[in-house]
Structure 1
């Protein structure tokens, strides 16, 4: 019997991947560990989007940042270069008609290391010196990209486009987690924050043995930093896939 596969990405990002996997014979469970929510006040975001052409580069930290931005603009100015972390964000841009050729898009060259550090390695920092870069992100996040750009003599402005929240542990979620902890399954986790949320929820659901049970599951993660977090949390089997759905699909479809 195929192992159940648990996809923990936010709901909107889980559906397409789940559909592709359901075309096979795997039992697929969607269990979002982070909810993507709108900002209570979008005035700061709207103000900065009104002056996009004043930036030498606009960097998006995630597909969510891209979708939230393009929901508020008619089109992207071709003169403004973009930077993204990985293939998932490139696909998000493509959904909005922004692709290489008409637009200049920079992303990490190593698809297994798609993070702020590898994006910095791909950027021409000397060209950006003395100019202004915009980073579009969630309400909170790592400061590595902004700090490194500032250290290189680049002016940085950051703006929030969405917020993340852990799901409420209601009776339905409690029962789903209880059931999943009893099964030997594969889990797709695509952020370190979601991994921390998972551990917190498991401890609440089964304080005695829940942590040991979840640590025995096989994790599929798209970034090295998430793999390092998983190993530090005691997970025994962590598979590092390539960036984007293609890398996940390849790894998952090769698992019996």
Structure 2
């Protein structure tokens, strides 16, 4: 029975052929990797497209890992393979707790992702003995909004809760709403992980709810908790 207002914050842009050269080279050597990691739905869809262009089927005896259940399902559907994902959580910390990523001496790992982003996953895997390559298949661009778009979100009496799906989205939101910052910070905000929850608290949000996942089901459950507490 809720009403949704959408304010896109980041645009996902697939890399052009010239920017994909490094990724394509890594994928041509896909059989040299022991582990492939997909860190988002976009990494899964665009990475799988690149893989299927170059490989009729995946090399054998590789571990395929995804950062969350939704990404795992998409990878499994697109590449017809078994996919490992965290039992709980959908961030780098959760992936790093997977048993298959503990003893990594002399292992080679390819991480499908967008340009930029967190370095924790690769840095920790290297500390555990792995050789790690980024296979970057997209970039993020901040969406520009006019005053009319922002005005809707600058009226907190119309908004009961806010959802963001990543730390980058949270940062973009804070920048866009700076003119109405004080009133916006009083609105409950739903975030996908403990890391982003901490960022939200540091940004000044007073009511931060961790959904423990960026998928729709996790976000909706968190919104239901907010609604129940408000009654």
Does the pair score TM above 0.5? yes
CA distance in 2, matches of 1:109, 1:181: 37
Question: What TM-score does the superposition give when structure 1 sets the normalisation length?
Answer: 0.78
Q: Which runs of 5+ in 2 are unaligned?
A: none
Partner of 1:212: 182
Aligned partner of 1:223 among 167, 171, 193:
193
Shift in Å at residue 71 of structure 1? 2.1
C-alpha spacing 1:126/1:231, structure 2 compared with 1 (3 Å): closer
Partner of 1:73: 51
8 Å CA contact retained: 1:35, 1:166: yes
Shift in Å at residue 192 of structure 1? 0.7
Q: Per-residue displacement from partner, 1:162-213 (whole Å, max 9, x unpaired)?
A: 00111123x3xx212112221233111010111010111112xx2xxx1112
Partner of 2:142: 166
Question: What TM-score does the superposition give when structure 2 sets the normalisation length?
Answer: 0.86
Q: Per-residue displacement from partner, 1:67-106 (whole Å, max 9, x unpaired)?
A: 11122232551622211211231232244254xxx52x22
CA distance in 2, matches of 1:109, 1:88: 12
CA distance in 2, matches of 1:242, 1:46: 33
8 Å CA contact retained: 1:49, 1:73: yes
Partner of 1:18: none
Shift in Å at residue 35 of structure 1? 0.6
Aligned partner of 2:122 among 142, 146, 158:
146
Shift in Å at residue 255 of structure 1? 4.4
Computed over aligned residues only, the root mean square deviation of the Cα atoms, in angstroms, reads 1.9
- Whether 2:58 is the aligned partner of 1:58: answer no
Q: After TM superposition, what 4+ stretches of structure 1 lie above 4 angstroms from structure 2?
A: none
CA distance in 1, matches of 2:152, 2:163: 17
SS in 1 for 2:169: helix
Aligned partner of 1:96 among 52, 72, 78:
78
Aligned residue pairs total: 218
8 Å CA contact retained: 2:103, 2:128: no
Which deviates the most, 228-237 or 213-222? 213-222
